[in-house]
Amino acid sequence: MNHSTYAVPSVAPSAHSFIIEQFEEALARRTSTVSLTANENVLSDTARALGQNRHYDRYLFNVRPIAGQRYAAEFGGMQVEHFPEVETLKALATRAAQTMFNAEFVEYRVLSGVHCTLSVLAALSVPGDIVMSLAPESGGHFATGPLVQKIGRQSVFFGLGTDGQIDLDAFDAQLQALGQPPAAVLLDHGLTTRAIAVRPLRKLLNRRGLDRTLIICDASHTLGLIAGQAYPNPLDEGADILQGNTHKSLPGPHRALIVCRRADLARQIEHNVGGALVSSPNLPGLLQLFVTLMEMERHGQAYAERMCANARQLHAALAGLPGWTAHATDTHMLLLEGAFSQHAAQQLNELGIRVNNKRIDGRDCLRFGVQEITRLGIAGEDLDALAHIIRNVLTDSVNAADRIRLAHICHRLNRVHYSFDEESCR
C-alpha cells in the first residue's frame, strides 16, 4: 500500500489553487531538466493530443461490427459503441508495425512490458513448466523471476559471458541438468549495449531436440532501433515472440505490444489476453501508440540512426575519465562503470540531468540513454556541451557556468522531431 512521506500543510489551502501552484512550480523546473534515463521518452504533440481528447475517455472492446450499422457493435452479446475512426487508425498502425517488424500478427492490448511477459507466458505455458530467463545480475528484469513463480511456473536464471553473449556451453549444461524441457527462454535484457545473438541459441535448442521451446525476446529497450533497422530483429534470428513496452527507444506511450509470425501462437495470445487479462485496453494510450507507430514508419530509420550516432558521440566524449570505464555501445544506451555511480547519479539528478544507476555482474555503473534528447533534436555541439557538464559532475568540478549552459541546452530542446509535429509546422 502507498503511504505519504511528505508533510501536508497545516492550514488547508484552496485545493484548486494548491494543486495548480504545486505543478506550475514543478513544470518550471522541468523546462531546465534534461533526461538521459534509458527507460523513458517523449510523445509527439500529435500523439498526445489524441490521448488527451476527452471524447475518447471511453471503453474500447474487441467488438464485432453489426452488418449495415456504422456505430453500433456487439461484444459478448452486449450492444456497445463502435469507433470506425479508431479502426481506421488501427489498420494504418498495424500495417506500419507489420512492415517495421516483418511480422503479420500484432497484439496491442497489453499495457506494459511486465504485462507482456505475464500474457505471453500465461498463454503459451502451463503450471509446472520451466521458464529460463536472464539473471538480474546480467541485466534481466527484476520482476521476471517472481512473476514466473507467481503464475505457477518454475524460474531458472542463466547469465551472460564477459562478451555480453550467452555462454552456450554453460547454458547447455543447465539444459541437461533441468530434468524436463523448458517451455520458454526469455531474453529480457535491460542493459542492452549490443545485441544478444539469438540464432546460436536456437540452433542449440534444436540440436537438443527442443524445437518446441519458445524463444521470447523482450525488446523494451531496443524496439525503436529494431523498427528503424538499426538493430537485429530477433524474429529473423529464430525468436518466436518479439515483445516490449513502447516508451523507450520506441517513443510512444507507457504501454506495450507483442508481435509474432506464427498464427498458432498469435491465436493463443489473443485468446488469453481478451479472455482473461484485458477488458478494455485504455483507448487514450492506444490512440497514442497508433500515431507513434505511424510516425516511426515514416521517420524511424533516421531516428534510430541518429540515436546510435549520438550514443557513440557521448561515449567518445566521456571516455578516459579517471575512475570510470565507458563500455562500447551499438545502441542508444551507454554504460559508464565506476565505484561512485550511485553518488554521481544523485549529483546529476540534483543538477537537472536525469540518469539511473544500475549494477551489472556486481559492478556499479551509470546508465545513459539518448533516445529522448535525440527526439528533441539535440545537435552535435549541444551534446558535446552536455557531455562536458557530465564530466565536470563526475570529477566534482561543476560550476555556475555549467548550470547556465545546461539551462540553455534545455531551452533549445523544446520541439519533438522525427514526428508528425514537424509536418504540421511546415
pLDDT tens figures, 241-264: 999 999 999 999 999 999 999 999
| C-beta neighbour count of 383 within 10 angstroms | 20
Q: Candidates 3.40.190.10, 3.40.50.720, 3.20.20.10, 3.40.640.10; correct CATH number of 54-293?
A: 3.40.640.10
Query: Where in the chain is CATH 3.40.640.10?
Result: 54-293
Average pLDDT score over residue span 28-37: 88
Contact status, residue 248 vs residue 257, Cβ threshold 8 Å: no
CATH number of 299-424: 3.90.1150.10
Instruction: Please tell me the least confidently modeled range out of 1-10, 245-254, 417-426.
Output: 1-10
Residue 9 has pLDDT above 80, yes or no: no
Helices (H), 208-250: 223-227
| Residue 419: strand pairing partners | none
Please list, residue by residue across 160-189, b when 16 or more beta carbons sit within 10 angstroms of its beta carbon and e when fewer do: beeebebeeeebeebbeeeeeebbbbbbbb
Query: Where in the chain is CATH 3.90.1150.10?
Result: 299-424
Residue bearing cell 545485441: 195
- pLDDT band at residue 133 using 50, 70 and 90 as cut-offs: very high
Residue bearing cell 537438443: 208
pLDDT at 14: 78
pLDDT at 12: 59
DSSP 56: G
Amino acid at 240: D
Contact status, residue 268 vs residue 335, Cβ threshold 8 Å: no
Percent of the chain's residues with pLDDT above 90: 81
This prediction has a pTM of 0.94
Average pLDDT, the chain: 93
Average pLDDT score over residue span 354-359: 94
